[in-house]
Amino acid sequence: MRQIPTLAPLPARLPDSVPFVGPETLERQRGAPFAARLGANENGFGPSPRAIAAMQAEAGEVWKYGDPTNHDLRAAIAAHCGVTPAHVVVGEGIDTLLGLAVRLMVAQGDRVVSSEGGYPTFDFHVTGFGGELLRVPYRDDRQDPQALVARAVEIGARMVYLCNPDNPMGGWHPPEVIEAALAALPDDILLILDEAYAEFAPALPRIDPDDPRVLRMRTFSKAHGMAGARIGWAIGAPVMIRAFDRVRNHFGVNRIAQAGALAALADTAHLDRTVAQVAAARDRIAAIARDNGLTTLPSATNFVAVDCGGDGDFARAVLTALGDRGVFVRMPWVAPQNRCIRVSCGPAGALDAFAEALPHALAMARQGASGG
């Protein structure tokens, strides 16, 4: 048996754990597909038919690499967001853009502030590049912008991460709260404002696109229904956007995704319909919860946190029992948020399956909790 080449010191001490287990793995474990895929905040209302047609038309052209500058898409995004193309970098989804941003900013031992129970993939990147992660608790089930910035200032952080609207709880902060937090941010700390759920928010903060302290992350995965296409963007000051060229995979974005994204952005009617369908689905999830004696949290996203009325173990039991009945959901990973399960908005059939499974799942969990 040969000796194994030693990994570099940093990767050598990284944990083997991964941020998320995918539903396909769970399906293989249970030996059957899920009837309702409501766990990953995917958008079951699907992409614009125009985006689907554009992707299908591009399939035959996939022998060509995509444009490494993402020229046309950046121009369209810039027009859509009221900035210039120099303010936009396109990447293989927010996950990749978060990794690149962390790599640009964080050296070993540098401090980064996020929320206790915030997005695990951001934490994965910070740990992966040797950063020290400091976590601020949620406050009233929402991330706490003021406390995040205050903590970053206090400990001399290099970056601070804020997701608004929030994942996994679904809440949001009105523009003036985000703007006030930004006003308190010193010049030498970078704010990552993850706006994956922006299209579902009632309003977004006004931020000077030339402000080098902020990178706003956006995606085609949620409202545009293209999670599997792996395409998103960041908006920031041109000097920060240019820095991505130092580390990104220039030919990394899928050509079919580029074509689909361009078409999706143009189909504003489909986006409006999606936002309305998602709002109706949120109401339906709240009604299903109510029918089962449960409450839900206000949501400005395409998912709803359902308070199962117990502790994390109880919610976990509900989640497991839902999974056994073919309904895939996820849940927050720290207390007290983990009293909830997180249910993605989806079409009627998927919510019917959830409505049918929930009473049984609650009964199973209560049976377990009473030692039965």
Restricted to residues 154-173, the positions that interact with a copy of itself (CB under 8 A) are 158
Kindly state the tokens that stand for 159.
């970056």
Sheet architecture: strand order including 295-296? 295-296, 303-307, 340-344
Task: Please count the other Cβ atoms lying within 10 Å of the Cβ belonging to residue 103.
Answer: 16
Q: Residue 34 belongs to what H/E stretch?
A: none
CA 319, chain centre distance (Å): 20
Minimum CB separation from a copy of itself for residue 166, in Å?
Answer: 20
The correct pick among 36, 38, 45, 233 for binding a copy of itself (CB under 8 A) is 45
270 binds a copy of itself (CB under 8 A): no
Check residue 4 for interaction with a copy of itself (CB under 8 A).
yes
Q: Is 204 in the site for a copy of itself (CB under 8 A)?
A: no
Q: How far apart are CA 138 and CA 362, in angstroms?
A: 26
What is the contact mask toward a copy of itself in residues 7 to 36, using x (rule: CB under 8 A)? xxxxx--xxx-xxx-x-xx--x--------
Q: Choose which of 36, 38, 66, 144 interacts with a copy of itself (CB under 8 A).
A: 66
Residue 310's φ and ψ, nearest 5 degrees, are: -135, -150
Nearest residue (CB) to a copy of itself, 213 versus 339 = 213
Size of the site for a copy of itself (CB under 8 A): 89
In the complex with a copy of itself, the residue whose CB is nearer, 3 or 370, is: 3
Closer residue to a copy of itself, CB minimum distance, 45 or 138: 45
- Does residue 85 bind a copy of itself (CB under 8 A)? no
Nearer to a copy of itself, 310 or 347 (CB): 347
Residues 38, 76, 85, 93: which binds a copy of itself (CB under 8 A)?
Answer: 93
Q: Give CA separation, 83 vs 24, 87, 222, in Å.
A: 39, 6, 22
**Beta strand pairing status for 132-136 and 111-115?**
parallel
Q: x-or-dash pattern for a copy of itself, window 178-197, by CB under 8 A?
A: ---------xxxx-------
Largest CA distance in the chain: 62
Question: Residues 206 to 265: which contact a copy of itself by CB under 8 A?
Answer: 211-213, 221, 225-230, 237, 239-240, 242-243, 245-247, 249-257, 260
Distance between CA atoms of residues 229 and 38, nearest Å = 18
Interaction of residue 107 with a copy of itself, rule CB under 8 A: yes
Q: Examine residue 61 and tell whether it contacts a copy of itself (CB under 8 A).
A: yes
> Tokens in use for 14?
């990284």
- Taking CB under 8 A as the rule, does residue 44 contact a copy of itself? yes
Residue length of the chain: 372
Q: Where are the beta strands (DSSP E) in 87-166?
A: 88-91, 111-115, 132-136, 159-163
Contacts of 63 (CB under 8 A, 6+ apart): none
Considering only the stretches 89-97, 133-141, 148-156, 277-285, report the one whose residues sit in contact with a copy of itself under the rule CB under 8 A: 89-97
